[in-house]
Amino acid sequence: MKNWVPFSDKEYDQIWERIYRDFKFEPSISEFPSFKVPYPFITYDVSDYFGESVDLDAYDDLEEKALLVFKENTSFNEYILALDWQHECYWVNPNVKFERDEFGEWIIPIFPNGDYYFFIQKDFKWGFLGHPWEKSITIFGKELINGFCKHKPRMFHKILRQE
């Protein structure tokens, strides 16, 4: 079973339209936050993990914990949205092997080191939103927040906002 299934043009347009509308998404390199997610949510400051002198194992830890939490919050055959702003986006199943790119990363990285990277449940019940300029990761939805509290990545030690 192939993972990372590209969106059709229609899916791409409909999903991004919903992101802009429901999250009041206004991409910005200086005005933060750039989106408004539903309650409850928590935003972590991950700025310590940008740059060259960082703990590289922390990225693997984030991938491992995120995948574990995504698996706990999806059924075996369920696909979630994997979004890269203004680039190709995918349906991905957390329960199927995650293929990696030529750099050994997920096709859409979990860490927002270059663009907005979002992983959202197909009905928008929960989500994981990475902001590259605020250098933050926002998690919304009670189930996802509880999962990340149970399997806390070491990057998640500084809270920016919480509701």
73-103: pLDDT as tens digits: 999 999 999 999 999 999 999 999 888 888 8
CA trace torsion 81, 29, 104, 157 (10° rounding):
-90
Say which residue the tokens 């989500």 belong to.
127
**Tens digits of residue pLDDT in 46-61:** 999 988 767 779 999 9
Burial 118-141 (b: 16+ CB within 10 A, else e): bbbbeebebbbbbbbebbbbbbbb
Start-to-end Cα distance in the chain: 38
**Tens digits of residue pLDDT in 115-145:** 999 999 999 999 999 999 999 999 999 999 9
- Please state the pTM of the whole predicted model: 0.94
* pLDDT at position 1: 44
Residue 21, both tokens = 């509308």
Instruction: Report which residue type is found at 131.
Output: H
